[in-house]
Amino acid sequence: MKPTARLIIADSESSADLFWATRFVVPDPILYLEIGGKKILIASDLEFSRAQKEAAVDQVLRKGPLPDVETLDRFLKKRKIRRIEVPASFPFRYAEALQKKKYRVRAVPDPFFPKREFKNPAEKREIVKSLRATEDAILFAIDTIRQTRIRRGRLYLKGTPLTSESLRRMMEIRMMGNGCLARHTIVSCGREAADPHCIGSGPLLANQPIVLDVFPKSISSGYYGDITRTVIKGKASPKLCEMYAAVRKAQEAGISKVRSGVDAARVHQAVVSTLEGAGFRTGNRNGRPEGFIHGTGHGLGLEIHEPPRIGKTSNILKKGHVVTVEPGLYYRDLGGIRIEDVVFVTNRGCEVLTRIPKKFEIEGRPYSC
């Protein structure tokens, strides 16, 4: 059989596959090849010396400005390679240029490196570090909310309205101080929280759910944390209390089903059944979806969302997977509630990596179980 090369043309800041394969941080596109199990980087003059010292590859070759299809063509012809496998995100212009040179280019479905799904002990430790920084930011946010005073239905901190923007900024600065970079941190309140990915804006309100969904990336390791807590300053209505209790019970049901060999669709169904059993059904009202309107979870690692997924589609969970379990309920007239933790899949069940407690009403009391 003719040899096949696996090829990535990308920078490792945007390509988790490239960083995972090389552990080399490079801001500009570089050529990565894998031939017969041998890892090769073709680096520009700018990055050549650093790549030799830092990249976890077998060989580093030197070339001028990159990416350069002509250089790649000469390299492959010398080794009599005509077949190339590339990631699904491979740039079209390079695929087209290679096809014009009579190479057979095949896009490999994600994940390009299947082993990326299975976290080794070192990777697990890095995820835990990111989770600890995430927890610190959430606890800081909750304590900040707890310190506010209620005036005319709004939260005031030292005489100034506390807004989604100001709290998000404080949280992200705190995470940066702990070695993590956070973007699009969700601090959404009231009706805004009924839209799961609304990051939130404006003054935070009393007696309304505040969703804190925090997912920073470690600056040093590249691994993400991802945790969500929903809290309320003031008094929750009976219906909101019912929603929160149902979401928490649903998460417990989902986590109890996680173990190596189980179909992720069964985990998702356990969550759905629990929410429906509590009287919270999913459907459409006035053309808008409401209820539990997303999947139960996703893989976590060098990307915030990576395989496997926990939802309606079949995916077999296996030992070494790191996944989130994050049920939620969303109703336009009530707001949204979501609780998210991260677990490590084992043969007998799972290890919950998140340590931060869960509490809904935080009026005037320290945040604790």
The DSSP annotation for 1-61 comes to ---EEEEEEE-TTT-HHHHHHH----SS-EEEEEETTEEEEEEETTTHHHHHHH--SSEEE
The three-point CA angle 219-221-224 to 5° equals 80
325: enclosing H helix or E strand: strand 322-325
Quote the pLDDT of residue 368: 36
Tell me the backbone φ, ψ of residue 299, rounded to 5 degrees: -65, 155
Quote the pLDDT of residue 286: 84
Sheet holding 306-310, edge to edge: 306-310, 297-299, 322-325, 341-345, 350-352
**pTM (2 d.p.):** 0.94
Q: Which residues contact 82 (CB under 8 A, 6 or more apart)?
A: 2, 76, 102, 103, 104
Quote the pLDDT of residue 369: 28
Residue count (the chain): 369
CA distance 154 to 207: 9
The three-point CA angle 171-352-342 to 5° equals 45
Nearest to 57 by CA among 67, 48, 66: 48
Domains detected in the chain: 4-116 (3.40.350.10), 118-352 (3.90.230.10)
Walk along the chain (369 residues) in steps of 10 and give the mean pLDDT of each run. Answer: 90 95 95 96 93 97 80 92 96 96 95 95 98 98 97 97 98 98 97 96 98 98 98 96 98 98 98 98 89 98 97 96 98 96 98 96 58
User: Taking a C-beta distance cutoff of 8 angstroms, is the pair 326, 339 a contact?
Assistant: yes
Does the N-terminal peptide bond of residue 308 adopt cis geometry, omega within 30 degrees of 0?
A: yes
137: enclosing H helix or E strand: helix 121-147
CA distance 315 to 111: 13
Nearest to 282 by CA among 321, 253, 250: 250
